[in-house]
Structure 1
């Protein structure tokens, strides 16, 4: 049992191409939903919805803005976008009561898919966003890569295991 209690995301920033600060936003990160195929037949009592190792359904990331920003239009360019979300997770040591900050970094490369411009209402937010189809995802937690999915290059690393290494080898990649 860990003596650390991860409590909250203290804060985060978003950067385009690793260095250009994008502004104040909230982010909906992608789901890791495996592609699957239903298997049935002799030797199986029923059906199994079998995940295809290393293959994932469409993944999207949505950046939610308060008002229209120049970043909306930069991210709507019809080209692959590279965005880094760098944050700090606040943990507390249950024994000592002291706090520590743990770095988290989520990198996505994605293709613009949807750019809702939001609404206009006096004295309120516009609630606009950018949605990108994710083709590359990397999550680093406390300096370690815990997820790396590269759909174009057959990479699927989850908690240190590359589930597509043998597939790449078998394909001569």
Structure 2
């Protein structure tokens, strides 16, 4: 049953406004979802051939969401405000099943809580898009694929759950 995920068919971005109500941000040109990078320290010495850039268990670096836009509008100004902003991103990927030679769809959702750290209104040029962007520091991320939670990261509550396995449970217990 090999299924081959192909490409994004379409996506939708929502973000909370000043009153905490989710609003559709309907003219972004693309999104760069957060990258999950572990904090590391280089270890070397007896018993190791050379060096190992060893990840520190459960410690994550900065995670950034980037929203790129064609032209600046009031929605992007709203996203530049200080304080917490919640995002809901949904996208559909087409999936090819090589067994029965059918194309289907896979639903993906990401729920993000973040704060604004950069607001670039873009450039002004005649007959051209502004190509602005906004960047957000992410501290909560939850990913769902076809209704199943596959990833949960909550930095303030020491949660790192992948496919139902809570990798930070032992750490939270040790800190009690």
Partner of 1:11: 10
> Segments of 4+ in structure 1 off by > 4 A?
none
Corresponding residue pairs, total: 171
TM-score, with length taken from structure 2: 0.90
2:89 to 79, 85, 89: 85
Deviation at 1:147, TM superposition (A): 1.5
Which consecutive residues of structure 1, in runs of 5 or more, have no partner in the other structure?
none
User: Which is further off, 86-95 or 13-22?
Assistant: 13-22
Deviation at 1:42, TM superposition (A): 4.0
Partner of 1:21: 24
Q: Does 1:155 align with 2:153?
A: no
Q: Does 1:58 align with 2:62?
A: yes
Deviation at 1:38, TM superposition (A): 1.7
Quick one: distance in 1 between partners of 2:13 and 2:77?
15
TM-score, with length taken from structure 1: 0.91
Kept in 2, the 8 Å contact 1:53–1:163? The answer is: no
Alignment of 1:1-173 (within 5 A): 2-17=1-16, 19-25=22-28, 26-172=30-176
Quick one: distance in 2 between partners of 1:45 and 1:98?
49
Deviation at 1:160, TM superposition (A): 2.8
Which consecutive residues of structure 2, in runs of 5 or more, have no partner in the other structure?
none
User: Which is further off, 39-48 or 28-37?
Assistant: 39-48
Deviation at 1:54, TM superposition (A): 1.7
Kept in 2, the 8 Å contact 1:114–1:130? The answer is: yes
Quick one: distance in 2 between partners of 1:78 and 1:124?
30
